[in-house]
């Protein structure tokens, strides 16, 4: 039986940004984002833009949000990011307009290849299209596209793309019904 050999792990091909850039972001993230101090969203948006994020207008970012690398982040207009949300973006993450990431939602762009003894890093871009609602404590996995106006219900896990105007629930998330907007 073959076994995992973490000593063989090598992700030198993955480029996440410069060392100084990452250190400066780490302290900015801890001081202004991953804190319970309710700094105004306008301040957080300016900081994200300073670090290379593309951010639209009227974006609300609540306290205790964790963002891995803002230079891999694009946020559209009129988006809400709830308390404790974690954007673990080792790869690009795109949020469309009118997107809601509820409390403690988790956007996960990286994983590992459990079939290889070297446990290689696997990354995948996440796209959250216009009008999508990611429910509290839900997880969106690497490479997933949440199509326009889809909903990922509370505590659900999206391992595959979500159809537009559909409501998903469970682990793994399954389509439950259509979303009708009045």
Split at pLDDT 50, 70, 90, the class of 30 is very high
Q: What is the pLDDT of residue 2?
A: 87
Q: How far is CA 96 from each of CA 3, 107, 132, rounded to the nearest angstrom?
A: 42, 14, 8
In a domain? residue 28: no
In a domain? residue 72: yes
Distance CA 58, CA 63 (A): 16
In a domain? residue 31: no
Asked if the model's pLDDT at residue 41 lies above 90, the reply is yes
Q: What is the CATH number of the domain that holds 67?
A: 2.160.10.10
CB 73 within 8 A of CB 67: yes
Shortest CA distance to 131 belongs to which of 119, 112, 149, 106? Answer: 149
Instruction: Render pLDDT for 65-99 as a digit per residue (tens, 0 to 9).
Output: 999 999 999 999 999 999 999 999 999 999 999 99
In a domain? residue 23: no
Tracing tokens 């994200």 back to the chain, one arrives at 48
In a domain? residue 145: yes
In a domain? residue 103: yes
Number of structural domains, the chain?
Answer: 1
Split at pLDDT 50, 70, 90, the class of 31 is very high
In a domain? residue 61: yes
How large is the C-alpha radius of gyration of the chain? 17
Split at pLDDT 50, 70, 90, the class of 1 is confident
In a domain? residue 76: yes
Structural domain containing residue 125:
41-178
Omega within 30 of 0 (cis) for the link into 172: yes
Shortest CA distance to 137 belongs to which of 60, 84, 69? Answer: 84
């Amino acid at each position: 039986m073959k076994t995992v050999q973490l000593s063989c792990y090598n992700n030198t091909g993955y480029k996440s940004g410069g060392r100084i850039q990452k250190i400066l972001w780490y302290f900015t993230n801890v001081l202004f984002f991953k804190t319970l101090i309710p700094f105004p969203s306008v301040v957080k948006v300016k900081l994200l833009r300073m670090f290379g994020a593309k951010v639209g207008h009227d974006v609300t970012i609540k306290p205790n949000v964790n963002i891995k690398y803002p230079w891999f982040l694009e946020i559209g207009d009129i988006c809400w990011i709830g308390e404790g949300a974690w954007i673990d973006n080792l790869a690009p993450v795109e949020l469309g307009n009118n997107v809601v990431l509820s409390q403690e939602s988790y956007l996960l762009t990286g994983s590992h290849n459990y079939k290889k003894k070297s446990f290689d890093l696997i990354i995948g871009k996440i796209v959250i299209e216009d009008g999508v609602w990611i429910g509290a404590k839900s997880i969106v996995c690497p490479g997933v596209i949440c199509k326009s106006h889809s909903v990922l219900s509370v505590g659900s896990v999206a391992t595959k793309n979500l159809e537009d105007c559909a409501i998903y629930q469970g682990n793994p998330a399954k389509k439950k019904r259509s979303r009708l907007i009045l």
